[in-house]
Amino acid sequence: MSILLVLTISLVCAVVCHFIAKTRGLHPVFWGMMGLLFGPLALPFVFLTGRSGKDH
Per-residue confidence in pLDDT tens, the chain, 56 aa:
899 999 999 999 999 999 999 999 999 999 999 999 999 999 999 999 877 655 44
Global pTM? 0.83
For position 55, what pLDDT does the model report? 46
For position 53, what pLDDT does the model report? 58
For position 50, what pLDDT does the model report? 77
DSSP conformation class of 20:
H
Q: Where are the domains of the chain?
A: 2-47
Cβ–Cβ < 8 Å for 46, 21:
yes
Rounded to whole angstroms, the Cα distance separating 37 from 44 reads 14
